Amino acid sequence: MPSPATCRLASLDEQIAAQHAAIARFETALWENGFNAALLPSYQSAWRRLETLLAKRDDARHHFILVIPVADSPAQLQRCLASLLELCRAYAYGGIEDGHFSKVSVLLADDSESAETIAANQALVHAFDAKGLAIEYFGLSEQLALLDTLPELDLSPIIGNAPREAFGHKGQAMMRNVAWLHLAQRLQDDARTLIYTLDADQQFKVNVDMAEGDGEVFAVNFFAQLDAIFHTTDADVLTGKVVGDPPVSPAVMAATFLDDVAGFLREMAASDPAQPYRQQTANNEADAAYHDMAGLFGFENAADAYRFRCRLPGVPSNADCFGAFARRLKRFFHGEHPTRITWYRHQPTLDSVLPARTVYTGNYVFRPRALQWFIPFAPLRLRMSGPTLGRLMKAELGPRFVSANLPMLHTRTLDASGAAEFRPGVVTAADHIDLTDEFERQFFGDVMLFTVERLAALAFPQQTLSSEILAATLDAVHGEITMKYRARRDKIAAKLAALTRLLEEPTHWWQLPEHTNALAHFRVFLDNMQRNFGLDSAGHARIASTINGQRWRQRQLAALARFHADRRVWNQALAALKPPSA
Residue 435 resides in a domain: no
Q: Are 193 and 226 in contact (CB under 8 A)?
A: no
Would you say residue 566 lies in a domain?
Answer: no
Q: 44 lies in a domain? A: yes
- CA pair distance 259, 494, nearest whole angstrom: 11
pTM greater than 0.85: yes
Please enumerate in sequence order all residues whose Cβ is within 8 A of that of 315, keeping only pairs 6 or more positions apart, or say none: 276
CB 450 within 8 A of CB 478: no
Report the mean per-residue pLDDT for the chain. 92
- For residue 1, pLDDT over 60 is answered with no
Contact 492, 528 (CB under 8 A): no
What is the average pLDDT across 336-357?
92
pLDDT in tens, 482-516: 999 999 999 999 999 999 999 999 999 999 999 99
52-97: pLDDT as tens digits: 999 998 889 999 999 999 999 999 999 999 999 999 999 999 999 9
Query: For residue 17, is it within any domain?
Result: yes
Considering its fold, how many domains does the chain have in total?
A: 1
pLDDT band with cut points at 50, 70 and 90 for residue 428: confident
> Is residue 199 one of the residues assigned to a domain?
no
Position 23 in a domain = yes
Handedness of CA 557, 459, 464, 157 (dihedral sign): positive
Alpha helices by DSSP H, 131-221: 140-148, 156-159, 172-186
What mean pLDDT do residues 109-115 have? 95
For residue 471, tell me if it sits in a domain.
no
pLDDT of 457 reads 94
Reported as a single tens digit per residue, the pLDDT across 451-489 is: 999 999 999 999 999 999 999 999 999 999 999 999 999
Give CA–CA dist 331/335, Å, rounded: 7
Q: What is the 3-state secondary structure (H, E, C) of 304-324?
A: CCCCCCCCCCCCCEHHHHHHH
What residue numbers bound the domain in which 41 lies? 1-58
Beta bridge partners of 70: 110
190 found inside a domain: no
The SS3 call for residue 244 is strand
pLDDT (tens digit, 9 = 90+) per residue, 540-566?
Answer: 999 999 999 999 999 999 999 999 999
Q: Is the backbone peptide bond immediately before 461 cis, with ω within 30 degrees of 0?
A: yes
Per-residue confidence (pLDDT) for residue 582, from 0 to 100 = 44
Q: Which residues pair with residue 363 across a beta bridge?
A: 198
More confident residue, 297 or 429: 429
Given the DSSP bridges, would you call strands 206-210 and 100-101 parallel, antiparallel or unpaired?
Answer: unpaired
